[in-house]
Amino acid sequence: MVKTADIAQLKTIWQKQPAHKRYREKGSSAVLAPIVLTEGEACILFEKRSEDLKHQPGEICFPGGRIESGESARAAAVRETCEELVITPEQIEILTPLDVQSGPSGAPLWSFAALIHDYDGGYSAQEVDHVFAVPITWFMEHPPQTVTIDYVRDLPEDFPFELIPGGRNYRWRGRPFEMYFYKHPHAVIWGITARIVMRLTMIFAGDLPDARI
């Protein structure tokens, strides 16, 4: 069981991690992986997106969204989390920046882990269908299903094949990519959300050299 004491010990490690810098590329976004304590046990809080949303309705995700002009990734993650979980910035204690992922559009997606204090289970019904929490220990005990795929190279019809050796028969190198699927009884957690969960699980399990507990 991951307990409050484990969180306190990790804080001393995470405080040494470098902060994300500002990122101005159009389409960049940021998400926050919320950790809540339930009877002293650390749990990861998830959202199910509203079915009324235009993009990715019904997906399991973390709170987050686009980084606004002049805004840091951290500020964006906090702002979006406050809006979606109906909490204040004072309730959010950023623990550490996590890996930078590639979002659906290909633009960077910056992620953070944070402890949410005094959370009462609220959320914005306009964006969120419901929320649920899963103990971090559950992810340690249930490794994800892993599927390796190759990114599809979709070339336009007017691509100048005549300028490259082999033309249309040129042997492009594939770009393998691992996708993870956590099959929790409450929902399937996959995609970028699952990658962030795996990173957190590795940290708490002590599988990363710079983040042992």
Alpha helical stretches, state H, 27-100: 73-85
Q: Is residue 86 predicted with pLDDT exceeding 60?
A: yes
- Work out the average pLDDT over 160-170: 87
Tell me the pLDDT band of 207, cut-offs 50, 70 and 90: low
- Work out the average pLDDT over 131-138: 96
Domains of the chain: 4-20+27-205 (3.90.79.10)
| Residue 150: predicted pLDDT | 75
Residues 23-41: pLDDT tens digits?
Answer: 445 578 999 999 999 888 9
